[in-house]
Structure 1
């Protein structure tokens, strides 16, 4: 066997090994702090990396680093917590090539899986069993241009859309988009205050004044544990 053929076979084996791995920042057990399942015990699988740089990001530690772990290994770690709900998050989980394979494997294992995604990536790759919690980036996020608008047509009734509201102008932009796109006919819509930009009571008042049929939400985990990673 020539050295060239040996090198080709080694390269193929390495590529196959990578096909079954994802880069993980952390796996932890906590209470869900947002979305429809808020308050429920949940295992969080945080993947490493994100192509966006939202001004309010609270998980910058997940942009780099992490550890390569096999998909089967990740599923075993999740199973050890004996918890039904699993959230795959980031960073931006869908920026990883094998994220869809991991998510499919977690659903096959019997978990109720949700994916927190920025809305900048193609969500059509996701298993139909998955709950997609998709951000729409507001002007105040600094990443509005990254919104992938064609994702809206892929949403189903059990999915969720999330707006993080940075100020009054953000609220008005989000309200007007909500109305023009009739977003509540697609799925449930969540409005969250950016914790340094908007007082929660102000956002609540604006929603009530406009009779806007959205779910107001706070980040429960921040009230319990602050910005502590892994909580």
Structure 2
């Protein structure tokens, strides 16, 4: 069983509900979307790049592996890094749900360590989530606004959140100057109809891909509106960008 992995590293979670928590990040290659504001290097979506393992004191194995790779190739490194305390393992991308079998195999290998699995996802691959949800502890789910990415995924988002709501899930919406009120209201409606207690994180965009940062007044106005509909709404930027942290 093989998959493309662009990098594995230990850092803080810079976004969302668990911001500031120490995680071991496993970044899988590939995505089913092409968001203009994506901050993942385009080369990291190709198996042509190697898997880079963050250098750490005492590890004597190779720090660069050829993709695609077998899970057994990276488990020694993962086990070594987890000798130090981590809140959880973040399976990220790209879109990690492109590889449900890899997630299942990873969960099986990590079960003796009893460390939570944290899934970062664009919230569109419902069937794949159904395959792995029993092994996932925390889900960070994006809702993509059509006004920012040029395509609507409302049905996929709704079905995904219904399933994800069985777990510790929060929804993240990236907000730009171009994000429209109509899209925002649609997203709020979907969340409320599933569970008004689900945490919503509004994340001011880090300007990329021709999109521009949302004015502070817009962020405050949208949070006020969301708080009229949902019980828990927070505005959290990409804090790792602020600290120049991976």
The alignment's TM-score, normalised by the length of structure 2, stands at 0.74
Deviation (angstroms), 1:163 = 1.0
| 1:139-187 CA distance string (max 9 Å, x none) | 1332543451311210225111111112264355224431354055362
Listed as ranges, the matches of 1:197-212 within 5 Å are 197-199=212-214, 201-210=216-225, 212=227
Matched, 1:120 2:124: yes
Distance 1:94 1:56, change over 3 A: same
Q: Deviation above 3 Å: which 4+ runs of structure 1?
A: 168-172
Listed as ranges, the matches of 1:82-121 within 5 Å are 82=82, 83-84=85-86, 85-96=88-99, 98-105=101-108, 107-108=110-111, 109-121=113-125
Gap runs ≥5 in structure 2: 50-66
Worse-superposed segment, 88-97 or 196-205? 196-205
Does the residue aligned with 1:191 lie in a helix, a strand or coil?
strand
Query: What CA distance in whole angstroms lies between the structure 2 residues aligned with 1:192 and 1:205?
Result: 12
Distance 1:102 1:202, change over 3 A: farther
Matched, 1:160 2:166: no
Listed as ranges, the matches of 1:132-151 within 5 Å are 132-142=139-149, 144-147=151-154, 148=156, 149-151=158-160
The alignment's TM-score, normalised by the length of structure 1, stands at 0.78
Query: What CA distance in whole angstroms lies between the structure 2 residues aligned with 1:52 and 1:41?
Result: 27
Query: What CA distance in whole angstroms lies between the structure 2 residues aligned with 1:45 and 1:114?
Result: 10
Worse-superposed segment, 84-93 or 191-200? 191-200
Q: Which residue pairs with 1:185 in the alignment?
A: 196
Distance 1:187 1:58, change over 3 A: same
Q: Which residue pairs with 2:46 in the alignment?
A: 64
Gap runs ≥5 in structure 1: 1-18
Query: What CA distance in whole angstroms lies between the structure 1 residues aligned with 2:13 and 2:191?
Result: 28
Contact 2:142-2:173 within 8 A present in 1 as well: yes
Distance 1:210 1:106, change over 3 A: farther
Does the residue aligned with 1:57 lie in a helix, a strand or coil?
coil
Query: What CA distance in whole angstroms lies between the structure 2 residues aligned with 1:188 and 1:62?
Result: 30
**Could you say what the CA RMSD is over the residues aligned between the two structures, in angstroms?**
2.4
Deviation (angstroms), 1:62 = 1.8
Q: Which residue pairs with 2:54 in the alignment?
A: none
Does the residue aligned with 1:72 lie in a helix, a strand or coil?
helix
| 1:115-154 CA distance string (max 9 Å, x none) | 1111121221223242111111101332543451311210
How many residues are paired up? 208
Larger radius of gyration: 1
Query: What CA distance in whole angstroms lies between the structure 2 residues aligned with 1:68 and 1:114?
Result: 22
Query: What CA distance in whole angstroms lies between the structure 2 residues aligned with 1:34 and 1:41?
Result: 12
